[in-house]
Amino acid sequence: MAETKTTVMRLGGRMLAGLIKYVVKSSHIVYEPADLRSRLRATHPCIIASWHGQFMMLAHLHPGDIKVAAMVAKHGDAELIGEAMLQLNTGLIRGAGAGDRKRDRGGAQALRAAVQALKDDTSLVMTADIPPGPARIAGVGIIMIARLSGCPIVPVACATKRFLSFDTWSRMTVNLPYSKLVFVGGDPIFVPRDADANMLEAKRLELETALNAATVKAYALAGADISRATPLDQLAAQSPPSPGLGLKIYRTALSAMRPAAPLLLTMRERRGKEDPQRRGERLGQAQRPRPLGPLVWVHAASVGETNAVLPLIDSILAHNDQSHVLLTTGTVTSADLADNRLPPRAFHQYIPLDVPIFAARFLDHWRPDTAIFTESDLWPNIVLAAAERKIPLALVNARMSPRSMKRWRSHARFGRPMFSRFSVILAQNKRITKTLKWLGAPNVITSGNLKIDAPPPPVDQAALDALISAIGSRPVFLAASTHEGEDAMIAAAHKLMRRNLPDLLTIIVPRHPERGYALSTLLNSQGHRATRRSERALPDSATDIYIADTIGELGTLYALAPVAFIGGSLIPHGGQNPIEAVRHGTCVLSGPHNHNFRDAYLALREANACVIVSTADEIARATELILSNADEAQRMQISANEALNQLSGALAITMTALQPILPKQTRG
């Protein structure tokens, strides 16, 4: 199979070389400047740079009597390009920069080979941007080659009036024959051998600017539509595209489902997931009048997101003492939290279902001056309706799992009309920033995680005292925010620990409190003596496992337990927030699936301040070690706080970025 693919790629490369020769032979060629080929000969050996996807015709610039090599990646598809280059009398250097990817793509070896080739009087042809993007952003590798070799970089662009383009990351173009073929070259860029980091960055930007200018000029001289060759994410950032077929189908489908909305809400109300007294809010019907003056709308999905944005809401209100904040969420638990913790001039409503008419009712009533969404809870109809009303949009603490990133990149035509309408997006890390730029967001800033700057959940001192009195000197293990499928392993770990800790009390806090009854039934059927907190019971000496199926008490329970397993991580959910536990001085255990808080867990693991567990036996051994070794527990607590402190600062960055779109303070 591999041999067949190689044969096909080589045949394709020869066909590509033939096409390049035919385009040159059949086209009217223009050089800018007119003596471009002579200048390249005079500059030899040099580094000829172009943008990825725009390099097809550069082989024509080969003078024929000097040595030229092209840098070509090692992956299978590059065999086609490599074969074409060989057919056009161009040598090969295999390898490419890694960009943001960790795996080795032969970049270091290729850099050494490139420098040696230049020293051996061979010019180099290479693309300045690195797959898989972002496109039209020069990498530092080409700058390093110029510095180490002492040879200049010559930015070159080519364009034909007739061409095909494809929706790849770089907007790959295939030039067609019987065209006007234009080559544009810029001035050589020299990188001093003693260039420091600032100089290297300045030269990188100089190359980027020169290549963009050459590309614009080439398409203009060819009389070609440059937008057809511009990466789609950059087009979206310049001018948000209209909703495509996928979004239109989505909007139509949701509109058609409007009559079923009451039935859906009734079903959710029976399961405790909706508040029947506030059903109208889910249909876009406000329960209170709009306050006078500026109104900032902040949307958070549930409890975790609400906790994260509470300090942001305080900052928004402090920024303008005439503003009010409307907080919307979608869960009963978050509504209860909002009622207890929102400051004056802030109030809560439920987010309407994502049906166009409900979104219109909501926006027509509240008329927010700014709309701020949190993390990943974006509803297309609501977002697009707000954008149509010219409401400035922001997305803060933006989060995407690796799976979500892959899905969004595969369905960019669905995402770009939405993400390109945000005035500013604050992303938790650089990988998310990169994906959002790919989706056309024009202004993305890597800010870090707001949850690190958020205060820990509050402690009810009276409730804590009552629990301490009921538990006495028994050792306590907490399993927080567990999901279905994890509780059986926690119970098995509890059974193992009871061998060495016979009076151990395990507390399970299900992520969804409505699971309390079923969980209690399961545990009691397995021989555990389980008690539910929702039944107003306290754990007594006979209680093995205490089920805290209540709302808003996680801070109190963290203050009680010296060690906690953070749920959602033994199953492929992505994990829940470990930061709250750390801030309460609780040692953290997590399963392997914790990518929802990737940066926090990476910092904790590097500081040896958390334990990753996959089995009941590993949970038991880690917990016993912490409960029996006060020095180790203290070390973990101190190291964890220090590690997270290194990641703080997201709130200040977020507020600075939001300033331009927040209502301005006015004085009467």
Query: What is the pLDDT confidence band of residue 6, given thresholds at 50, 70 and 90?
Result: low
Residue 74 confidence (pLDDT): 64
Residue 78 confidence (pLDDT): 66
| Three-state DSSP state, 135 | coil
Amino acid at 651: L
pTM, two decimal places: 0.82
Residue 87 confidence (pLDDT): 78
| Three-state DSSP state, 137 | coil
Residue 614 confidence (pLDDT): 97
Residue 106 confidence (pLDDT): 60
Cβ neighbours for 36, distance < 8 A, ≥ 6 positions apart: 61, 183, 184, 185
Q: Is the pLDDT of residue 419 over 60?
A: yes
Residue 82 confidence (pLDDT): 74
Provide the CATH topology of domain 245-448. Rossmann fold (3.40.50)
Ranges of beta strands (E only) in 451-554 are 476-482, 505-510, 530-532, 545-547
- Catalytic positions: 305
Segment 158-180 mean pLDDT:
93
| Three-state DSSP state, 232 | helix
Query: What is the pLDDT confidence band of residue 53, given thresholds at 50, 70 and 90?
Result: confident
Question: Residue ranges of the domains in the chain?
Answer: 2-230, 245-448, 461-645
Q: Is the pLDDT of residue 2 over 60?
A: no
Helix spans in 156-260 (H): 197-222, 232-238, 245-256
Q: How confident is the model over 96-128, as pLDDT tens digits?
A: 655 555 455 566 788 889 999 999 999 999 999
Residue 667 confidence (pLDDT): 60
Segment 225-241 mean pLDDT:
90
Are the C-beta atoms of residues 158 and 218 closer than 8 Å to each other? yes
Using CA atoms, how far residue 345 sits from 322, 436, 659, 665, in Å, is 9, 33, 19, 15
The more confident residue out of 552 and 592 is 592
Residue 521 confidence (pLDDT): 94
Segment 643-657 mean pLDDT:
95
Amino acid at 326: L
* C-beta neighbour count of 63 within 10 angstroms: 12
Query: What is the pLDDT confidence band of residue 548, given thresholds at 50, 70 and 90?
Result: very high
Using CA atoms, how far residue 422 sits from 51, 139, 364, in Å, is 27, 27, 20
Q: How confident is the model over 591-602, as pLDDT tens digits?
A: 999 999 999 999
The more confident residue out of 638 and 105 is 638
Residue 565 confidence (pLDDT): 98
Percent of the chain predicted with pLDDT > 70: 96
Same fold, 245-448 and 461-645: yes
Segment 347-368 mean pLDDT:
97
Query: What is the pLDDT confidence band of residue 212, given thresholds at 50, 70 and 90?
Result: very high
Phi, psi of 283 (to 5 degrees): -100, 10
Q: How confident is the model over 397-409, as pLDDT tens digits?
A: 999 988 899 898 8
Rounded to the nearest integer, the mean pLDDT of the chain is 92
CA distance 523 to 529: 7
Residue 5 confidence (pLDDT): 63
CA distance 261 to 392: 29
Residue in this structure with the two tokens 């770009």, named with its chain if needed: 416
Q: How confident is the model over 311-326, as pLDDT tens digits?
A: 999 999 999 999 999 9
Phi, psi of 134 (to 5 degrees): -70, 150
Percent of the chain predicted with pLDDT > 90: 78
Question: What is the DSSP secondary-structure string of 268-336?
Answer: HHHTTSS-GGGHHHHTT--SSPPPSS-EEEEE--SHHHHHHHHHHHHHHHHH-TT-EEEEEESSHHHHH
Q: How many residues does the chain have?
A: 668
Write the burial class of residue 571 (CB in 10 Å: 0-12 exposed, 13-18 middle, 19+ buried): middle
Residue 168 confidence (pLDDT): 86
Q: Is the pLDDT of residue 260 over 80?
A: yes
Query: What is the pLDDT confidence band of residue 657, given thresholds at 50, 70 and 90?
Result: very high
Query: What is the pLDDT confidence band of residue 666, given thresholds at 50, 70 and 90?
Result: confident
Ranges of beta strands (E only) in 132-202 are 153-160, 163-165, 173-175, 180-185
Q: Looking at the domain covering 461-645, what would its CATH class be? A: alpha beta
The more confident residue out of 529 and 132 is 529
Q: How confident is the model over 68-85, as pLDDT tens digits?
A: 888 877 665 666 777 777
Question: What is the DSSP secondary-structure string of 369-437?
Answer: SEEEEETT---HHHHHHHHHTT--EEEEEE---HHHHHHHHHTHHHHHHHHTT-SEEEESSHHHHHHHH
Beta bridge partners of 372: 298, 394
Segment 372-389 mean pLDDT:
96
| Three-state DSSP state, 46 | coil
Q: Is the pLDDT of residue 430 over 70?
A: yes
Amino acid at 316: I
The more confident residue out of 47 and 70 is 47
**H/E element, 262:** helix 261-270
Handedness of CA 73, 77, 79, 84 (dihedral sign): negative
